[in-house]
Amino acid sequence: MLAFEDLGIRFGGNQAVQGVTGSITPGIITAIIGPNGAGKSTFFNLLSGFYKPTSGRITFGGQDITRLPTHEVVALGVARTFQTTTIYKELSVLENAVLGHRVRTRSGLWDALLGTGRERQERRASEAAAMDALRRVGLEGQAHVPAGSLTQEAQKRVSIALALATGPSVLLLDEPAAGINPEETVALTRTIRELAAGGLTVVLIEHKMSMIMTLADHIMVLHHGQKIAEGSPAQVSRDPAVIEAYLGGHAAPHVRDELKADLLQSAAELPGGQHA
Ligand SMILES: Nc1ncnc2c1ncn2[C@@H]1O[C@H](COP(=O)(O)OP(=O)(O)O)[C@@H](O)[C@H]1O
Ligand SMILES: [Mg+2]
SS3 letters across the chain: CEEEEEEEEEECCEEEEEEEEEEECCCCEEEEECCCCCCHHHHHHHHCCCCCCCEEEEEECCEECCCCCHHHHHHHCEEECCCCCCCCCCCEHHHHHHHHHHCCCCCCHHHHHHCCHHHHHHHHHHHHHHHHHHHHCCCHHHCCCEHHHCCHHHHHHHHHHHHHCCCCCEEEEECCCCCCCHHHHHHHHHHHHHHHHCCCEEEEECCCHHHHHHHCCEEEEEECCEEEEEECHHHHHCCHHHHHHHHCCCCCHHHHHHHHHHHHHHHHHCCCCCCC
User: Could you read off the pLDDT of 126-142 as tens digits, one per residue?
Assistant: 899 999 999 999 999 99
Q: Which of 17-26, 89-98, 104-113, 126-135 has the lowest mean pLDDT?
A: 104-113
pLDDT band per the 50, 70, 90 thresholds, residue 271:
low
Q: What's the pLDDT score for residue 228?
A: 95
Name the pTM for this structure: 0.86
Supply the mean pLDDT for the chain: 87
Closest-lying ligand 1 atom to the alpha carbon of residue 45: 17
Task: Say how many Å lie between the CA of residue 128 and the centre of ligand 1.
Answer: 37
Give the count of beta carbons closer than 10 Å to the beta carbon of residue 151.
11
Q: Which is the closest atom of ligand 1 to the Cα of 205?
A: 21
The closest-lying atom of ligand 1 relative to the alpha carbon of residue 36 is: 23
Instruction: Among 14, 15, 36, 227, name the best residue to mutate to test ligand 1's pocket (greatest count of ligand atoms within 8 A of Cβ).
Output: 14
For residue 236, pLDDT beyond 80: yes
Domain that holds residue 209: 1-77+168-276
Under the banding of pLDDT at 50, 70 and 90, the label for residue 243 is confident
- In CATH, what number is assigned to the domain containing residue 72? 3.40.50.300
Task: Specify whether 42 is located in the same domain as 96.
Answer: no
Do 275 and 146 fall within a single domain? Answer: no
Domain closes at, from 167, 197, 221: 167
- Is residue 17 scored above 60 in pLDDT? yes
Asked if residue 11 has its Cβ within 6 Å of ligand 1, the reply is yes
74 C-beta closer than 6 A to ligand 1: no
What pLDDT, on the 0 to 100 scale, is given for residue 273? 41
Looking at the chain, the whole-number percentage of residues with pLDDT higher than 70 is 84
- Best residue for ligand 1 mutational test, from 11, 17, 33 (most atoms within 8 Å of Cβ): 11
- Going from the Cα of 185 to the center of ligand 1, the distance in angstroms, rounded, reads 25
Whether residue 274 is predicted with pLDDT greater than 60 in this model: the reply is no
Mean pLDDT of 37-43: 96
Query: Looking at ligand 1, which residue's alpha carbon is closest to its atom 3?
Result: 11
Q: Say yes or no to pLDDT of 262 above 80.
A: no
More confident residue, 172 or 106: 172
pLDDT at 155: 94
> Which residue, among 138, 258, 161, 137, has the nearest Cα to 208 in the 3D structure?
258
pLDDT (tens digit per residue) in 178-215: 889 999 999 999 999 999 999 999 999 998 888 898 89
Task: Judge contact between 201 and 209, C-beta under 8 A.
Answer: no
Residue 83 domain-assigned?
A: no
Residue 272's pLDDT is 47
Q: How far apart are CA 154 and CA 149, in angstroms?
A: 9
Q: Using the mean position of ligand 1's atoms as its centre, give its distance from the Cα of residue 22 in Å.
A: 20
**What is the tally of structural domains in the chain?**
2
Q: How confident is the model at residue 124 (pLDDT cuts 50, 70, 90)?
A: confident
CA of 125 to the centre of ligand 2 (A): 34
How many residues does this entry show for the chain?
276
Same-domain pairing of 150 and 201: no
Identify the domain boundary among 167, 187, 219. 167
